[in-house]
Amino acid sequence: MSFYKSIVRPLLFLSDAETIHHRAIRVLELMGPMWARFSPPADPRLARRVFGLNFPNPIGLAAGFDKNAVALPAWEALGFGFAEVGTVTSRAQPGNPQPRIFRIPECGGLINRLGFNNQGCDAVASRLQRLRDSGKWPKIPVGINLGKSKVTPLQEATEDYLLSFERLKNLGDYFVLNVSSPNTPGLRQLQDRAALHELLGTIQGRNQSGRPVLLKIAPDLDWAAIGEILQLVEDHRLAGIIATNTTIDHSSVPIQQREQGGLSGRPLRERSTAIVRFIAERSKIPIIAVGGIDDLASAKEKFDAGASLVQIYTGFIYEGPNVVRKICGGLLRDLNPDVS
């Protein structure tokens, strides 16, 4: 067992999950620029070009970990091939009451009901602009995940997303419309055909620069609904789909540990893979897979199902900061068994 899993993780898990998260982000924010200077170069054999962007490797950080884009240099230093910040909303908001993150070590899962807590699009835009101006912008693609402000009525959701997109559109390499979090009341109704048609059409209509725009969907949709969404994504010429967000199906969690919120991690692996496969069998649109990826086998499962790229969140918490390099090392060994 690794030093992280045998020593560090048990100590971290003694404290509240959100407290540890904030401390980790602070360390990453402070140390990231220095780590980036000494991080080894990416192996070109792992590079991929997807929706017009060059990814040094196919393993990315999922949205939700670096909500306010404070630690971008650190993600590159840790070996990630891309990083997605957010979810960012048009207005700053505190999110749901604490406690709101719950670890479930028995099944490698995590339940969160954060509720898009973030500093808002203006603050994130200013921070990203300062990073660009400083010359410390990472060499990996940076995605920006956009969500609806909680106080915005559902019928005004399109204007809310558009405000954030307009404010940030020149600062991200790609954008994700998050209509699938279970922690903002009514948000998943935006996956319905009429609402989604309006949202996608409006954003793409204002996307004059042609930035890649992706849609993040829920794992709890039935196959017919996913098929309808896939058609809309193709009709509006989106760059890709992220499959999937967290699930409201907690049947794999011990009853005494079930909490309201979205479940991520290992319990989501099978359903996420099934959705990736379903989409890949019906479309050539690029897929970013997320859900239950914490080692080489789970990453390869997503690639074999049809994903172009994968993202990690809960796996980073359970496996530690070396998880990306371990997966990349395994991918390289598959390409060349002689690679050490």
C-alpha 178: how far from chain center: 10
Which residue in 181, 264, 272, 308 is the catalytic one?
Answer: 181
The sheet with strand 262-265 has its strands ordered as 101-104, 109-112, 262-265
Q: Compute, in degrees rounded to 10, the torsion defined by CA atoms 142, 146, 150, 156.
A: 160
Q: Which residues of 66-96 are buried (b: 16+ CB within 10 A; e: fewer)?
A: bbbbbbbbbbbbbbbbbbbbbbbbbbbbebb
Is there a catalytic annotation at residue 181? yes
- Residue with tokens 């602070």, as numbered in its chain: 26
CB 149 within 8 A of CB 89: yes
User: Pick from 51, 53, 82, 111: which is nearest to 241 by CA?
Assistant: 51
Neighbours of 326 (CB within 10 A): 18
Query: Which sequence positions are flagged as catalytic?
Result: 181
